[in-house]
Structure formats: C-alpha cells, structure tokens
Amino acid sequence: MNKKIKNRRHKSLKHSGGGRIGKPGESSVKYLIVGAGPAAIAAIEAIRKRDKRGAITIVSSEKEVFYSRPLISYLLADDIGEENLFYRGEDFISANAPLRIIAGAPASSINPRDKTAAIAYGRVLKWEKLIIASGGVPIVPPAILGAKNLRTFTTIEDARRLDADIKSGAKRAVVVGGGFIGLKCAEALVKRGVSVTLVELAMHVLPSLLDDVSAGIFQKNLERHGVSVRTLSSVEKIYDGGKKLKLSGGEVIETDIIISAVGVRPNVSFLEGSLIRMGKGVIVGDDMRSSADGVFAAGDAADVPEFFSGARRAVPIWPVARQTGAIAGENAAGGAARAAGALTMNSIEVFGLAVISAGSVNPSPDSGTAFLDGAAVETADGLADLPDGTPRYKKLVFDGGGRLAGFIMLGDVERAGIYTELIKNRASVAAFKRDLAGDSFGFICVGEENWKKRIMPLEV
C-alpha cells in the first residue's frame, strides 16, 4: 500500500468519531440502521423508494462508511487506492437525505420495548424502525489469542495495520484459515513481498467452496506462487508473544505476524439482553422481521432462511447481504416483500486462477438438503487445460429429481451464472444434462420454452 492510503481519504464519506446527534429533541428517527455495509446501503435505497422523507440514521463502529470490505485485499496488494474502496459515490448521502451518519460510534445496547438504542459515548436514540445490519466480526482461535503480533483482516483499519507492519519490516506471516478472506489476504501479502504460511484445519483450502479435486489444483497454484500450505493443521501453541508458533503436527514456524482468518461470526453482542430471538445471528423470516416489533435484520448479522432447507442460518455472502438489506428496508418502510431462500455462492480469484461455485458441491446422503431422494453426483472433471496453460475443472451436482443442486467451475468461469440460475429455478434439467455438462454449454441449453420469451421481440 502506498501513500495513497494516508493522503487520499475519501472526504465526504469519512466522519469524525462519535459524530453529532444534533440538538436535543432531534434524537428521534424514523429509521435507525446499525451498520454501514452492503445490507445497510441496500436498506437505505429500498426505504427511499417508498419513503422520500422519513429520517434515516446510520450508526457504525467504523469511521469510514459505505465502503466495500472485500476490497481491502486489493487495497493491501496495492491494486487499488483507498478512493476506489467506496461502494457508493460522494452524492449518496445527499441523494438519500435526510440521512444522518454517526460513525466511529458502535451501538452498545438495544431496547425493543422502548424502541431505543444506546450508542457509544452514552447517547440514546429513539427509533420507529430498527434495521440490524451490523455485519460480522472475525473469530480468533483461542490458541493464538493474546499474541502481540495478532491481526485480523476484515476492515479498512485491518488493512492499514498490515500495511504498517510491512512498512516497518514484517517479512513473514502466518495466515490461519484457508477460506475466502485467508486466501485473499495471503495473495496480497505475497504481492507485497511477505512470505506466507497458510494453515487450514480442513482437508483442503476453501472447504465450503471446493471439492478435493478442485482444491488440489487451487492449492498447487498457491504453492507455485510461494505460499506454504499446511492442511489438516491448526496452531497449537504460541511462544515469544507470537513470534514462534507450533502447529498441531509438531512443526515450529517463526513469523513476524499472525493473521486470524478462520471466519466471522455475526456482530450482535450489543443485542444481549434485548430479548430479540437469536441463533448465532438475529433470527429472521423471509420478510427479514425479527421476533421484536419494528426490528429487522439483514446481511451477515442475520440468520436467514437457507435456499434448500429453509432453516435459519448465516449465509454471509455479498449478494445475500444486498438482497436481505433491500427486503428489510422495503418492509421497514411499510412494504410486504419476501426474499427467496439464500443460496450459497462464491467467486474468488487468487494468483490468476478463478473459481466460482454455488449450492451443494460436496453432497453427502446425510446432508439433509438437496439429497433427500438419493444423491446423484455427476462430474465433468478432467477437462483439458486452457490454451494458456490455465488448469480447468468443472463439476455439476444433480439431485435425485434431476435438478441442478450445485456446481464448481475452476479456471474457466465464464457463463457460470447460467448454472446458478438453473439451481435457483429448481426445474428438472434431466433432459439436457449432457448438454449442460458439455464444454460448449450455453443459454440455449436451458430449453426453448425458457429462452424464447427472454430474447425475442414481444409480438404486438
């Protein structure tokens, strides 16, 4: 990260810590939103479609609001400057007025009966509708807790801190966790000249996105770019305040920094004592209403109905945050919108190797989701490498009803959305399975009755 990061802070979207609430008597708002990420932004936009005047207040623990957290790896890698981190432009606040932002001041408690929220520095806000879009906070395994060189990689501050570490001479890093965040962090660190050891507890990296074949290819690519990967491993013990650590296999590694990237949990500790019904996050229905009147939740902070089972659980991905945020906003403003079940999907590219996966990719008979009537797994692996030598792999998973339930595309990810849409539609694709699995599948494979109405001019 270069000087861009320090000198070019985004002017209108940065707010001084614990911003003003205003004069007494003004501390009552129609909509209070906790959080300032994709779900919160979607909620603001949805509210404004129905209610042009109702006052909206945003409370955020961070000083920067409305930026995109997944972009911090690009920032750390020096691929983009800090000005490119913001998801909405400078006119977003004025376009959605009256919109007040209280940044750098986390919510500390919520009282749904009085419809009040306490925020840092002892202020209390009264609200009519509350949307909890507070996102997630990183999990830190107990074994590395307390290390002096422990870092996380979730926020812009985390990226700045790692940047400072590198500038003050950090040369070696251990990234604990081989999921999305861990891999993007490892990639950025390598690009900055840091040597990285990646420690993953599961059999392979990206355990929820990939099967063992695709993960093998992915891992080889990581190693080719200098990342030392240790799977089936965890950190057992730290010494010297974290400068040295012992892995479960006995190996001892010396490092300058440790990054905990084992995942996030819903950021909902401020809801303790609120009596709002909680799972790991706030439990909501498909209308994003919680158990408390006037209280909605969306994004990573919510346990939402999952696509296959309808069971409430966190599906912490960007498109779900946007979708659930929009539903929460619309319904808070008097609407009656309902979300389709949240389908897990991910797209990630590390060291030039892209992979997209969605739905059920490692089906087991007892998964209790798509495979109640017997799993039928068909794979189309072993595809030839791309002309430039990029490896390629594809796997389609069909359920017993002949419906597409999941897929992995590695190397060549183009047209992946055709599969995603087929999963969402839950229609039987048994008749054109072979075409779909083929190398040159296309939109025409979805069947004439499906493509006709989408591409042809309307008959008058």
Binding-site ranges for another protein (CB under 8 A): 42, 68, 70-71, 74, 79-80, 84, 86-89, 318-319, 322-323, 345-349, 354, 356, 358, 413-418, 420-421, 435, 442-445, 448, 451, 454-457
Minimum CB separation of residue 70 from another protein in Å reads 5
- The nearer residue to another protein, 389 or 457, going by C-beta atoms, is 457
- The nearer residue to another protein, 141 or 417, going by C-beta atoms, is 417
Tokens of 438: 């083929």
Minimum CB separation of residue 356 from another protein in Å reads 5
Minimum CB separation of residue 387 from another protein in Å reads 8
Minimum CB separation of residue 407 from another protein in Å reads 10
* Beta strands 228-230 and 393-398, pairing class: unpaired
- The nearer residue to another protein, 266 or 325, going by C-beta atoms, is 325
Whether 442 contacts 415, CB under 8 Å:
yes
- The nearer residue to another protein, 86 or 218, going by C-beta atoms, is 86
- The nearer residue to another protein, 239 or 443, going by C-beta atoms, is 443
H/E segment holding residue 241: none
Side chain identity at residue 123, one-letter code: R
- How many residues are recorded in the chain? 460
Q: What are phi and psi of 425, to 5 degrees?
A: -75, -20
Minimum CB separation of residue 94 from another protein in Å reads 17
Whether 70 contacts 318, CB under 8 Å:
yes
Q: Map tokens 């070019």 to a residue.
A: 8
- The nearer residue to another protein, 1 or 271, going by C-beta atoms, is 1
Radius of gyration of the chain (CA): 23
CA atoms within 13 A on the CB side of 54: 23
- Angle between helix axes 156-167 and 180-191 (nearest 10 degrees) is 30
Side chain identity at residue 198, one-letter code: L
Minimum CB separation of residue 361 from another protein in Å reads 13
Minimum CB separation of residue 455 from another protein in Å reads 5
Minimum CB separation of residue 1 from another protein in Å reads 15
Cα separation, 222 vs 204, in Å, equals 12
- The nearer residue to another protein, 119 or 416, going by C-beta atoms, is 416
Whether 32 contacts 125, CB under 8 Å:
yes
- The nearer residue to another protein, 364 or 425, going by C-beta atoms, is 425
* Beta strands 312-313 and 195-199, pairing class: unpaired
- CB count within 10 Å of CB 29 equals 22
- CB count within 10 Å of CB 36 equals 27
